[in-house]
Amino acid sequence: MEVLELAIARKRVSDYSDKATQPEDTDECHDCKSRIEDGIEAYHWLRRAEETIRKAVYQGLIAHAIYESSVLPAIANLYVAWLQPFEQIEALADGQSNGEGKSANLAEFRECRESVRDWLQRQEWLTAVKRSRNAAMQVEPW
Protein backbone atom coordinates (compact mmCIF):
# COMPACT_ATOMS: atom_id res chain seq x y z
CA MET A 1 0.00 0.00 0.00
CA GLU A 2 1.44 3.35 -0.99
CA VAL A 3 -0.01 6.61 0.20
CA LEU A 4 -0.93 8.91 -2.68
CA GLU A 5 1.36 11.71 -1.45
CA LEU A 6 4.30 9.28 -1.34
CA ALA A 7 3.59 8.13 -4.89
CA ILE A 8 3.49 11.74 -6.05
CA ALA A 9 6.66 12.56 -4.10
CA ARG A 10 8.41 9.56 -5.65
CA LYS A 11 7.43 10.79 -9.14
CA ARG A 12 8.48 14.40 -8.39
CA VAL A 13 11.86 13.34 -6.98
CA SER A 14 12.42 11.06 -9.97
CA ASP A 15 11.51 13.81 -12.45
CA TYR A 16 13.72 16.32 -10.62
CA SER A 17 16.68 13.92 -10.55
CA ASP A 18 16.24 12.94 -14.19
CA LYS A 19 15.99 16.53 -15.36
CA ALA A 20 19.02 17.54 -13.30
CA THR A 21 21.21 14.95 -15.03
CA GLN A 22 20.14 15.93 -18.55
CA PRO A 23 22.39 18.24 -20.57
CA GLU A 24 21.75 21.91 -19.96
CA ASP A 25 19.42 23.80 -22.25
CA THR A 26 20.74 26.61 -24.37
CA ASP A 27 18.85 29.03 -22.15
CA GLU A 28 20.96 28.35 -19.06
CA CYS A 29 19.15 30.92 -16.93
CA HIS A 30 15.71 29.41 -17.54
CA ASP A 31 17.05 25.87 -17.17
CA CYS A 32 18.64 26.62 -13.80
CA LYS A 33 15.50 28.28 -12.47
CA SER A 34 13.40 25.37 -13.68
CA ARG A 35 15.66 22.81 -12.00
CA ILE A 36 15.61 24.74 -8.72
CA GLU A 37 11.83 25.06 -8.83
CA ASP A 38 11.50 21.34 -9.59
CA GLY A 39 13.74 20.56 -6.62
CA ILE A 40 11.74 22.75 -4.27
CA GLU A 41 8.46 21.25 -5.47
CA ALA A 42 9.80 17.69 -5.07
CA TYR A 43 11.02 18.54 -1.57
CA HIS A 44 7.61 19.90 -0.54
CA TRP A 45 5.82 16.83 -1.90
CA LEU A 46 8.20 14.60 0.02
CA ARG A 47 7.68 16.54 3.26
CA ARG A 48 3.91 16.43 2.77
CA ALA A 49 4.04 12.67 2.18
CA GLU A 50 6.13 12.16 5.29
CA GLU A 51 3.76 14.24 7.43
CA THR A 52 0.66 12.51 6.05
CA ILE A 53 2.12 9.06 6.66
CA ARG A 54 3.27 9.99 10.17
CA LYS A 55 -0.27 11.20 10.99
CA ALA A 56 -1.68 7.97 9.60
CA VAL A 57 0.64 5.99 11.87
CA TYR A 58 -0.37 8.05 14.92
CA GLN A 59 -4.03 7.49 14.09
CA GLY A 60 -3.50 3.74 13.68
CA LEU A 61 -4.23 3.71 9.96
CA ILE A 62 -0.76 2.35 9.18
CA ALA A 63 0.92 -0.12 11.51
CA HIS A 64 4.03 1.23 13.18
CA ALA A 65 5.93 -1.93 12.24
CA ILE A 66 5.15 -1.37 8.55
CA TYR A 67 6.15 2.26 8.86
CA GLU A 68 9.48 1.34 10.48
CA SER A 69 10.30 -1.55 8.16
CA SER A 70 9.26 -0.28 4.74
CA VAL A 71 7.83 3.23 4.64
CA LEU A 72 10.55 5.04 6.59
CA PRO A 73 13.38 3.50 4.50
CA ALA A 74 11.49 4.45 1.32
CA ILE A 75 11.23 8.05 2.51
CA ALA A 76 14.93 8.06 3.46
CA ASN A 77 15.85 6.75 0.01
CA LEU A 78 13.82 9.52 -1.60
CA TYR A 79 15.58 12.15 0.52
CA VAL A 80 18.95 10.70 -0.51
CA ALA A 81 17.84 10.73 -4.16
CA TRP A 82 16.71 14.34 -3.76
CA LEU A 83 20.16 15.36 -2.51
CA GLN A 84 22.12 13.72 -5.33
CA PRO A 85 21.66 16.40 -8.05
CA PHE A 86 21.79 19.31 -5.60
CA GLU A 87 25.48 20.20 -6.01
CA GLN A 88 25.25 20.11 -9.80
CA ILE A 89 22.28 22.47 -9.81
CA GLU A 90 23.82 24.76 -7.20
CA ALA A 91 27.04 24.95 -9.24
CA LEU A 92 25.01 25.84 -12.33
CA ALA A 93 23.24 28.61 -10.39
CA ASP A 94 26.48 29.92 -8.88
CA GLY A 95 28.23 29.81 -12.25
CA GLN A 96 25.80 32.08 -14.00
CA SER A 97 27.59 35.11 -15.31
CA ASN A 98 25.36 37.78 -13.81
CA GLY A 99 23.21 38.11 -10.76
CA GLU A 100 20.08 38.72 -12.82
CA GLY A 101 19.89 35.13 -13.97
CA LYS A 102 20.15 33.67 -10.51
CA SER A 103 16.96 32.20 -9.26
CA ALA A 104 15.23 34.03 -6.46
CA ASN A 105 14.46 30.56 -5.12
CA LEU A 106 18.11 29.59 -4.65
CA ALA A 107 18.01 30.48 -0.94
CA GLU A 108 14.87 28.37 -0.46
CA PHE A 109 16.50 25.53 -2.41
CA ARG A 110 19.46 25.66 -0.04
CA GLU A 111 17.12 25.67 2.97
CA CYS A 112 15.50 22.53 1.56
CA ARG A 113 18.95 20.92 1.36
CA GLU A 114 19.67 21.74 5.00
CA SER A 115 16.31 20.34 6.06
CA VAL A 116 16.96 17.12 4.14
CA ARG A 117 20.43 16.76 5.65
CA ASP A 118 19.02 17.36 9.14
CA TRP A 119 16.31 14.77 8.59
CA LEU A 120 18.80 12.17 7.37
CA GLN A 121 21.15 12.84 10.29
CA ARG A 122 18.27 12.55 12.74
CA GLN A 123 17.28 9.20 11.21
CA GLU A 124 20.87 7.93 11.47
CA TRP A 125 20.95 8.94 15.12
CA LEU A 126 17.59 7.29 15.86
CA THR A 127 18.72 4.09 14.15
CA ALA A 128 21.91 4.04 16.21
CA VAL A 129 19.93 4.58 19.41
CA LYS A 130 17.54 1.73 18.54
CA ARG A 131 20.44 -0.62 17.79
CA SER A 132 22.13 0.30 21.04
CA ARG A 133 18.92 -0.16 23.02
CA ASN A 134 18.26 -3.54 21.40
CA ALA A 135 21.81 -4.68 22.09
CA ALA A 136 21.52 -3.61 25.72
CA MET A 137 18.20 -5.39 26.09
CA GLN A 138 19.77 -8.64 24.88
CA VAL A 139 22.70 -8.39 27.32
CA GLU A 140 20.87 -7.27 30.46
CA PRO A 141 19.30 -10.03 32.56
CA TRP A 142 15.73 -8.93 33.12
| Calpha distance 7→107 (Å, rounded) | 27
What average pLDDT does the segment 73-98 reach?
85
Give the Å distances, CA to CA, from 38 to 50, 58, 73, 129, 142.
18, 30, 23, 35, 53
Residue 19 identity (one-letter amino acid): K
20-60 pLDDT, tens digit per residue, is 777 655 455 567 888 899 999 999 999 999 999 999 999 99
Q: What is the pLDDT of residue 138?
A: 76
Q: How many domains does the chain have?
A: 1
